[in-house]
Structure 1
């Protein structure tokens, strides 16, 4: 089974996606919480400022040494990575490919056939790439979930290519 997925068609740059490295990507999200938690708009500058100030406060209060709590946090994060079910938004990949203005649809090519979606719906999709900490080897490398979660129990599997038309 091929572990890469292509974005091709009416794009300025054809892109090869490798889902096996997304586990290290900061954009990944827990799949179940993506669809079941309330969505809130995040301001990246505000989020960054909060993280930096939290780190600064920790260093002021605890000093620059690594306190035992940090070791526990690292263990929890590692445990989450090896047992979690993750997805990643599809929109940044479309932006990097630079979809041409005349394009209107995305065709998802899989072993089961082709699914044609308007680009507006495709931009809201998320790509599942890990279930219970393991890559999708049997029916992957990615599963496509619509942004509204309407196909949560039956995602598009065995995806081979995304073609923009």
Structure 2
């Protein structure tokens, strides 16, 4: 149930989608694509500034501690479907400047998919359906950032290979 990011990166990292249910960066599946559709250029600038501030502050401080969750929040987690934006993970792997594409390696090697780095960075991983991990066709499904494949995601993703 892990997804490594390997290839033309400074740091090969391993993602564990089973713990993302407690991550504050997760987004409800129903809201993931409506949020982007309703943003304006000003919103994008504000978000970029917030990302910059967060990057600068994390370089000089300790990482945030996960807050406790209430029983009600825990029950809500187990009822909804969630996606995780991929950008932070790709950023942490530090893709080398000469990398142009990424291949989503699947359990069925014939259905591997090659994307541009931009498509990968703007995408989401679906990791929980109705509060449960994707055991049958997971560990994650890839969704393009624009939601164009929301009804037909790339399933069985087991590795991200940057090249």
TM interval, short-chain normalised: 0.7 to 0.9
Other-structure match for 2:103: 107
Other-structure match for 2:56: none
For 1:1-165, list aligned pairs within 5 A.
Answer: 3-37=1-35, 38-40=37-39, 41=43, 43=47, 44=50, 74-112=70-108, 113-165=111-163
Alignment coverage as a number of residue pairs: 137
Output one character per residue of 1:39-73: Cα deviation in whole Å (capped at 9) or x when no partner: 4436449xxxxxxxxxxxxxxxxxxxxxxxxxxx9
Displacement of 1:79 after TM fit?
2.4
Structure 1, 28-37 or 125-134: larger mean CA deviation: 28-37
Q: Which runs of 4+ in 1 moved over 6 A?
A: none
Displacement of 1:140 after TM fit?
0.4
Displacement of 1:36 after TM fit?
3.1
Q: TM-score, normalized by length of structure 2?
A: 0.78
In 1, the alpha carbon distance for the partners of 2:15 and 2:71 equals 29
Specify every segment of 5 or more residues in structure 2 that has no aligned partner in the other structure, as ranges. Answer: 52-68
Q: TM-score, normalized by length of structure 1?
A: 0.77
